[in-house]
Structures are given as structure tokens and as C-alpha cells.
């Protein structure tokens, strides 16, 4: 996905993709000048964002998501847990604005966000209140600001099965035995043990053998159940896209035969994020087909 990230830091605060903004604005039935007026910006600025020519500063993203009627985490997903800068931007403050609100200069905030000097103890509680988080959340964010090398960058998103398992383990720690139990429950018999899960988690040479011994879809179903995520999170991206295209082709055939097809629970329409994702998939495969024909 061709997304633009904040250039103020090597670690993006949130992912920004102008195509999602465009889809969300159209879903909200807003003109560019209307959205610009809500944000005290020109319609040209909105157009630059939607074309991915420029990106808004990170502290503008909460107001932009609110104006579009979208959830911040859905429209602009974060790469990993928040650090101090993330919390500030999610609260919609620049460093100078946050400093003024606390009655201090921006320097202590800048030093803490850069991981060079921790916040004074008497700044912690007021800053947590300003950002709308707990003291514990602020202190955890400060710890991450002093260890930024462990935060994922744009090219470090989980790609392999092992990387995906490792990423969800950070949110919900489980033992290899517990993961194996969930996969075996999905398979209906003892198909994998803790050692097999370790092979999958570490992307070892035995990983392919473990996957080949499992019934189709049981691995993804079991992992999804274990970590409370959609099973297809663990599938290769190409496979997911192929499934999407197959289903779209099926719906197209149904419509061409005069069969009415309605989506369950779709009374409020398709979300902007889903529209943007479908658009990306279709455009990518259309371009690939043209390249093969030429």
C-alpha cells in the first residue's frame, strides 16, 4: 500500500493514506471545501492529502478522523504501541500547545519524546490528564520513547507467519502449548504440538512441514481463535486478495443473471476503510493483468 507517513520521526505515528481520506470524505458526502472549512484549511490542502502529495501533521489526524466521522484507529492505524509523541498527537496537541497547557516550555516534552531526558515526576500526572490517559499508560509510553529501536517502522510490518504470530503475542501472550491446543481444537484432532508451534513462530525450516500436516484452514482458524483476531490475518496477502476477487466475481455473475444480492448487516453501507482496501486490490490486479498482456 502506497501510504505517506509522518516525516517528523523515523517511527511513523500513524499510517496515513490519502485514498482512505478520499473514500471517507465521499462516504460522508462532504465536498473538499466543506472538509477544509471544518479543519480551517483550504480545499487545495485536502486535495493534496487525497492525492498523497502531502500528509497532515500527526496531531491533525484526530480532528480529521472526527470530521469524517471515522474511528481514528481504523482510518489511521498505528504501527505498534504508543510512545510519548503518539499520545500527544492522538490528543491533538503540538509540543508548544501541550507545553502552554501545562505552563511549561516545550523543551521538557521535546527531550522526553526524543529519549534524551525523562519527564520530571511532577509533570507525569498533569500530562496524563492532558492527553486523556492513565499515569501508567503515560509512563509506559515514556519507556517506549527511550527505546524507539524496538518500535516497528513502515518496512517492518509482519509479513511471514512467524512475524504475524510474534506481533499478536505482544498483545496477548500465550505459550506454544496454548496455541497448539487452539489449533488442534480447530483441526479436531492432535495435529500439532508445542514444538511445531515454535517452528511456525520462528519461521524455521520445519515450518513448511508443520503447515503441510495440518488440515486446510485449521491453522488460521486456530490462530485466530487463540488471539481473538480474524483468521485471515495469518494468511499470505496474495491469498486473501485472491479470495476477495473470487467473491467479487461471483457477486458480479449473480447480478448479471438477475439475482439480487444483499449484504447482511450492511444497512449503513460499506466503511471507508473497506472501500479504500477494495479499491487498492482491484487497481493492483488490474495493473498486473495489463502488464501480463503487454
pTM of the full structure: 0.51
* pLDDT tens, residue by residue, 36-74: 999 999 999 999 999 989 999 999 999 999 999 998 888
Residue 268 has pLDDT above 90, yes or no: no
Measured CA angle at 212 (ends 206, 218), to 5 deg: 115
Determine which of 8-22, 23-37, 58-72, 80-94 has the lowest per-residue pLDDT on average: 8-22
Strand partners, 16: 4
Structure confidence at residue 147 as a pLDDT band (50, 70, 90) = confident
Strand partners, 15: 5
Predicted pLDDT at 9: 39
Amino acid at each position: 500500500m502506497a501510504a505517506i507517513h509522518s516525516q517528523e520521526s523515523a517511527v511513523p505515528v500513524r499510517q496515513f493514506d490519502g485514498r482512505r481520506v478520499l473514500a471517507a470524505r465521499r462516504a460522508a458526502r462532504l465536498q473538499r471545501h466543506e472538509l477544509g472549512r471544518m479543519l480551517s484549511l483550504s480545499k487545495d490542502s485536502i486535495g493534496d492529502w487525497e492525492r498523497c502529495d502531502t500528509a497532515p501533521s500527526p496531531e491533525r489526524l484526530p480532528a480529521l478522523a472526527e470530521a469524517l466521522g471515522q474511528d481514528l484507529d481504523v482510518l489511521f492505524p498505528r504501527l505498534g504501541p504508543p510512545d510519548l509523541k503518539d499520545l500527544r498527537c492522538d490528543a491533538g496537541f503540538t509540543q508548544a500547545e501541550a507545553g502552554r497547557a501545562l505552563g511549561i516550555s516545550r523543551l521538557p516534552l521535546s527531550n522526553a519524546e526524543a529519549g534524551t531526558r525523562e519527564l520530571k515526576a511532577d509533570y507525569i500526572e498533569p500530562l496524563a490528564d492532558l492527553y486523556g490517559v492513565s499515569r501508567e499508560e503515560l509512563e509506559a509510553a515514556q519507556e517506549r520513547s527511550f527505546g524507539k529501536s524496538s518500535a516497528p517502522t513502515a518496512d517492518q510490518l509482519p509479513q511471514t507467519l512467524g512475524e504475524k504470530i510474534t506481533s499478536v503475542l505482544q498483545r496477548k501472550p500465550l505459550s506454544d502449548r496454548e496455541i497448539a491446543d487452539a489449533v488442534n481444537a480447530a483441526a479436531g484432532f492432535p495435529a500439532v504440538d508445542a514444538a511445531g508451534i515454535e517452528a511456525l513462530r520462528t519461521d524455521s525450516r520445519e515450518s513448511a512441514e508443520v503447515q503441510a500436516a495440518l488440515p486446510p484452514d485449521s491453522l488460521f482458524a486456530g490462530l485466530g481463535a487463540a488471539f481473538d483476531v480474524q483468521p485471515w490475518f495469518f494468511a499470505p496477502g496474495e491469498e486473501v486478495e485472491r479470495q476477495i476477487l473470487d467473491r467479487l466475481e461471483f457477486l458480479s455473475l449473480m447480478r448479471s443473471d438477475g439475482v439480487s444480492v444483499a449484504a447482511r448487516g450492511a444497512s449503513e453501507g460499506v466503511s471507508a476503510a473497506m472501500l479504500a482496501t477494495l479499491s487498492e486490490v482491484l487497481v493492483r490486479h488490474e495493473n498486473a493483468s495489463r502488464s501480463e498482456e503487454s
